Amino acid sequence: MTMDKNTTPQSLVIVGSIGLDDVQTPEGEVRDALGGAATYSAIAASFFTPVGIVGVIGDDFPQTHLDYLDSRRIDLAGVERISGGKTFHWAGYYDFDLNVAHTLDTQLNVFADFKPVLPDSYKKASYVFLANIDPVLQLEVLNQVEKPKLTVCDTMNFWITGKRDALVEVLSRVDIAFMNDAEARQLTGCMSIVKAARAIQKIGPQTLIIKKGEHGALLFHNDEHFSAPSYPLESIADPTGAGDSFAGGFIGYVASVDDISPKTLRRAVIQGSVMASFNVEDFSMNRLRRLTCDEIAKRYSEFREMAHFDALEDASL
């Protein structure tokens, strides 16, 4: 059963996991909390633009979560509920190095047999974000969109190890890829992040964004690169979803301005950093639930101040 019918063309479509997470960090723990890569990224993107989400849930997925997604302008026509099925479930923990997620358990459940069928209103999407999920499903979505302006993908170690060939095919077909530094090294076998980035660009995406957790992010765009700082937070409650909210802020911003120039991509990296920095302040989506557009604008300005050190014409060296 799909959620409802929407005939308005969707500008931004996101596919990826929609799940329930058990997470433990030095600051506390949650069980069966709203999670999933598509969920985090769609919520982050929804602060900039309407979103259509493609995924699957089981009977156990609470209606209150669907109501929350709906309240954020997230269209659910591409979400299928499998009666008698169980929702994707991830369990993990973080030690004091909050950059490293330790997976305890991944239950694909209804995602194991999922065949995404895009509603007609999604096929003409201009912006497509293939959030973290089986790359075979990412390819199935890519095969159904007609002529997107920009395709972006994310992934994780689980798929680099388990579905490498499909992942390389996804990479060969997208414009932009997101990866964290460890995943880029794992995929390419290169110790140097710059070499790893070049190797991934050779596979396909001319733009690559390497997330470095609490150390910011690097944007490689053709031969140029741009380095974004991270926000100096005093305490991080739960890093889960940092990468996804980063990607959601990035693609949501790009779709909202409908421009893919290098300048926009740089701004989008900062918008992604802003969204990730808020997301980690609380567990699950709790911080994003009470986030306001004014807070986003204020933190974006703080990022500008943080990264600014000299106008080119003032440089005396």
47 binds ligand AMP (CB under 6 A): no
CB of 138 to ligand AMP, least distance (A): 10
Cα(37)–Cα(133) distance, rounded to whole angstroms? 8
What distances in angstroms separate CA 107 from CA 88, 102, 114, 175, one per listed residue? 6, 15, 13, 30
DSSP state at residue 155 = -
- Draw the binding track, 147-176, toward ligand AMP (x: CB under 6 A; -: no contact): ---------x-x------------------
Q: Rule CB under 6 A: is residue 138 a binding residue for ligand AMP?
A: no
Token pair of 294, please? 């004014």
Active-site residue, from 21, 238, 244, 282: 244
Q: Return all residues near 41 (Cβ < 8 A) that are at least 6 apart.
A: 14, 16, 129, 131, 154, 244, 245, 247, 248, 251
Can you tell me which of 132, 151, 201, 277 binds ligand AMP, judged by CB under 6 A?
132
Spatial strand order of the sheet with 19-25 comes to 28-35, 19-25, 88-93, 102-107
Q: State the nearest-atom distance from the C-beta of 244 to ligand AMP, in Å.
A: 4
Torsion of CA 45, 50, 56, 58, to 10 degrees: 90
Residue 93 is encoded by which pair of tokens? 């923990």
Q: Which of residues 219-248 bind ligand AMP (CB under 6 A)?
A: 240-244
Binding track, positions 259-298, relative to ligand AMP; x by CB under 6 A:
----------------------------------------
DSSP state of 229: P
Q: For ligand AMP, what does the binding mask look like between residues 68 and 107, x meaning CB under 6 A?
A: ----------------------x----------x----x-
Q: Which residues of 204-214 are buried (b: 16+ CB within 10 A; e: fewer)?
A: bbebbbbbbbb
Q: How many residues bind ligand AMP (CB under 6 A)?
A: 18
Q: How far is the CB of 311 from ligand AMP (least distance, A)?
A: 35
Token output for 3: 């959620």
Q: Is 244 a residue of the active site?
A: yes
Q: Which of 11, 14, 15, 35 lies at the binding interface for ligand AMP (CB under 6 A)? A: 35
**Which residues here bind ligand AMP, judged by CB under 6 A?**
17, 19, 21, 35-37, 90, 101, 106, 132-133, 156, 158, 240-244
Annotated active-site positions, please? Answer: 244
